[in-house]
Structure 1
Amino acid sequence: MGWTWKKEHLDVILVPSGLLIMFGYHLYLLYRYLKLPHTTTMGHENNSKVAYVERTMQIDVRDRGQALTVITTNISTATTLSSISLVLSSLIGTWLGNSTKTIFTTYLIYGDTSQSIMSIKLITLLIFFLIAFASFIQTTRCFVHATFLLTMPDAEVPASYVETAVIMGSNFWSIGMRALYFAVTLLLWVFGPIPMFVSSVVMVGVLHNLDSDSAPLHQFRPVPSRSVLKNVGEEMAAVGRAVQQLGRPHGN
């Protein structure tokens, strides 16, 4: 008996291929982020954040309100995304518990529509939403810790401590966002292996464009403030007046 092609075989071919493309790209991105950070957008963002923390730590604790506002905004966004991920996880869990054959699994899908495959789709989707939820929670934890360090009164806090907390929060943020990107492709798998594979290829192309940055890392040098320039001008004027007084002829 010869081998017969069935539409169920598409799930065996296209779904692992799509996941392999996604995982392969992110392993490549991880290598660039660790070894060649100046070629990635995340490396440039971390460079900016380190410079921001260093400049913030140079001012008085009472004048760090703007920095706290920036971190608080990131905390609010991470909390919102973690809540959304948890809600979607709950909905998928409910769907998984009550899943039955519907019009989506009988007529509109070209692929395997068995109940076991449908359960695998929902379970993998649930896993990535839970990963996103956990990552955004850790993002909030790191940024809250950075807030405590920035507002610690009457204490010398090394800038490296705050930088580590901010960078760790940013890394967890990136993991959470990548988990959501994976969840998008797996969500399209619910409608068949072909949409899932196509979305994986398109997603990698878009992410490669967004994650690449060929510009050199900017060196954030401090700009002379107006008060410093004013003081320098006043000192030069005072020196000029003193020179004029010394140059005047003295009367008998």
Structure 2
Amino acid sequence: MEENQLDSVLVPLGLAIFVGYHLWLLFSIIRNPTTTVIGINSQTRHKWVFCLMADPLKNGVLAVQTIRNNIMASTLLATTAITLSSLISVYVSNKSSSPSSKLIYGNKSTVMSSIKFFAILLCFLMAFLCNVQSIRYYAHVSFLATVPASQGRRDAIEYVARNLNRGSFFWSLGLRAFYLSFPLFLWVFGPIPMFVCCFIMSFVLYFLDTTTTFTRDLHSHSIKQEAIVEDL
């Protein structure tokens, strides 16, 4: 295979591995949420909202402080993403020649170089938008979770729990965009590092996203205990 043809083969293959893993993860979250960390955290946040809103006047400070920490984390990621996007834009606009480094093994044309930086820029912009959307949901929850009139109203509590989980899901999407930026950045040095990074990152994320038997047993035990308390 010629050097200029590597990008047309290894880059789509690497992205297919990364996207295919996340499609499998999405399917697992929908069908078997307790087998994934995201699914278990979603159920845990749902129970957390019910516990706090059982007495919002007493637990209001705890709820606001916890949500504030999440807002700060989302703000940090959003600021980092938009800053990196600005730096990439300035670099591309001031770039006058195509890369000629011997470290790059692949297509070295100016058009391909522009596509690489545009992909990284688009990735960080998506991370910024997802984190801003996450801040939006967290801000709504910080008001809704402390409303005394919602005490005992299951429909209102369910609405707050859904908004909290949506904020967390957008935060996870923003974080995944940062993960994707690593192989896209390595693509600047050639398609081979990009493909290897996609494979290794998908392998590492599998162990970070899936739960162990101990975690599932602990979670199912807590759900059973909660059901017993509600029955009493």
Tell me whether the two structures share a fold, i.e. TM-score over 0.5: yes
Write the distance in 1 (CA, Å) between the matches of 2:107 and 2:59: 61
8 Å contact kept, 2:81–2:125: yes
What is the match of residue 230 of structure 2?
none
Write the distance in 1 (CA, Å) between the matches of 2:100 and 2:24: 35
Matched, 1:118 2:116: no
Cα deviation for residue 213 of structure 1 reads: 1.1
Q: Which runs of 5+ in 2 are unaligned?
A: 227-232
Q: 1:131 aligns with which of 126, 140, 143?
A: 126
Cα deviation for residue 154 of structure 1 reads: 4.4
Matched, 1:188 2:186: yes
Distance 1:106 1:137, change over 3 A: same
Superposed CA RMSD: 1.6
* Map 1:93-172 → 2, pairs under 5 A: 93-101=89-97, 105-156=100-151, 158-172=156-170
Residue 125 of structure 2 aligns to which amino acid in structure 1? L
8 Å contact kept, 2:150–2:157: no
8 Å contact kept, 1:106–1:113: no
Between structures 1 and 2, the one with greater helix share:
2
Write the distance in 2 (CA, Å) between the matches of 1:23 and 1:187: 17
What is the percentage of aligned positions where both structures have the same residue?
37
Matched, 1:41 2:37: yes
Deviations 1:78-108 (A, max 9, x none): 0110010000111111112122337x53321
Q: Which runs of 5+ in 1 are unaligned?
A: 223-252
Write the distance in 1 (CA, Å) between the matches of 2:100 and 2:199: 24
Cα deviation for residue 6 of structure 1 reads: 2.3
Write the distance in 2 (CA, Å) between the matches of 1:88 and 1:198: 24
Distance 1:155 1:67, change over 3 A: closer
Cα deviation for residue 153 of structure 1 reads: 4.3
Radius of gyration: which is bigger? 1
What is the match of residue 211 of structure 1?
209
Q: 2:71 aligns with which of 40, 55, 75?
A: 75
Cα deviation for residue 145 of structure 1 reads: 0.4
Write the distance in 2 (CA, Å) between the matches of 1:58 and 1:149: 13
- 3-state DSSP class of the match of 1:64? helix
8 Å contact kept, 1:38–1:214: no
Write the distance in 1 (CA, Å) between the matches of 2:141 and 2:37: 22
Matched, 1:32 2:28: yes
Write the distance in 1 (CA, Å) between the matches of 2:206 and 2:100: 33
Distance 1:202 1:155, change over 3 A: closer
Mean Cα deviation higher: 162-171 or 91-100:
91-100
Cα deviation for residue 62 of structure 1 reads: 4.4
Write the distance in 2 (CA, Å) between the matches of 1:45 and 1:155: 23
